[in-house]
Amino acid sequence: MLSRRDFLATGATAAAGLALGPDSVSGVPAPVAHLRARPLARPVVVASSNGLRGVKVAYDQIVAGTDTLDAIIAGVNIQELDPEDQSVGLGGLPNEDGVVQLDASCMHGPTKRAGAVGCLEDIATPSLVAKAIMDYTDHIMLVGADARRFAIRMGFTPQNLLTEKSRQDWLRWKSRLNPNDFWLDHDDDVRIRFSTGTINMNAVNANGDLSSVTTTSGMAWKVPGRVGDSPIIGAGQYCDNAVGAAGSTGRGESNIMTCGAFLCVEFMRQGLSPEQAVLRTMERVVATTQSKLMGPNGRPHVDLQFYAVSRDGRFAGGSLYEGPGYAVCDDQGPRVAPCVYLFKASERPRRG
């Protein structure tokens, strides 16, 4: 794995920094007017690590001529429809009332269009609903009960998304909320899983056309109605067909404060590589993190990952902390690659 210090030490040649803010670091190449795309030798699909199966599906479809957005939505549908994946779609971990509420957004580079859906209930594939909003309306986002109604009118079949596995996890969480309440604790030896959910996927084809999609069940046990970064265009994902695409997973509130996916693409527009762009974006995240979320060592308690691909086919994944990987598929096949990172895992402060 490559840390920020190692990366900048080996790859940087200038210290001018970018004009997007005062929290820039030395060692990053000065911006250029625009990103000059060279001819692509192959398509590339990048995603969060839970998208390993999906990047292969998306890549094969793109090679066969499928549109990039259709291909990556087919890729994330694998996780959305997998009841064993508790981070998205069917079987996603519910809100504090035990209700599964889903968010998603997508962007299509060639047509400069986008679609998004928030707080969607009973529909397992919010990524497809987001695309339907993009394809069939002049709006970008629909939310809540009206988003559900729209999906049903478009032919989506409603179903109960709360699997028994996720229901049992919710009951464990609920029983341990207050030691003085009247709920009996059970399965005390079972660790309750807390998830921020989410799968992001981005792709570029041989013609340089880009698309991006992010889909999630959001934070486990969230306040009903909470919407994270995933359906927010420019936060959960962003795509510009002249530059690149980017998206994120992790604590959505931290990403919304920086419009991280948009910022990452803008850094690539100014000449930074995907690796440099995700690192610079994460530095902005740290600079805007609330003090209550920071440890005594000046490091955030939370984690966040970004994934990016440029129009010329370069790609990267980045994490605030050492450890996570990301999925990628090109002509070398699908694999999980290590993320570049800002901080060592040992630097992450413990909460409580």
- Strand, helix or coil for residue 15: coil
- Asked if residues 149 and 123 have their Cβ atoms less than 8 Å apart, the reply is no
- Asked if residues 255 and 315 have their Cβ atoms less than 8 Å apart, the reply is no
Written as six digits, the tokens of 150 are 């729209």
- The residues carrying an active-site annotation are 198
Written as six digits, the tokens of 235 are 């936060």
Radius of gyration of the chain (CA): 20
Q: Which residue stretches of 218-259 are H helix?
A: 252-256
State the Cα–Cα distance between residues 320 and 79, nearest whole angstrom: 24
Written as six digits, the tokens of 171 are 């009951």
State the Cα–Cα distance between residues 163 and 125, nearest whole angstrom: 15
Q: Pairing state of beta strands 141-143 and 113-120?
A: parallel
Residue type for 282, please?
A: M
Report how far apart, in Å, the C-alpha atoms of 78 and of each of 55, 61, 127, 163, 215 are.
10, 14, 11, 17, 11
Which helix (H) or strand (E) is 146 found in, with range?
Answer: helix 144-153
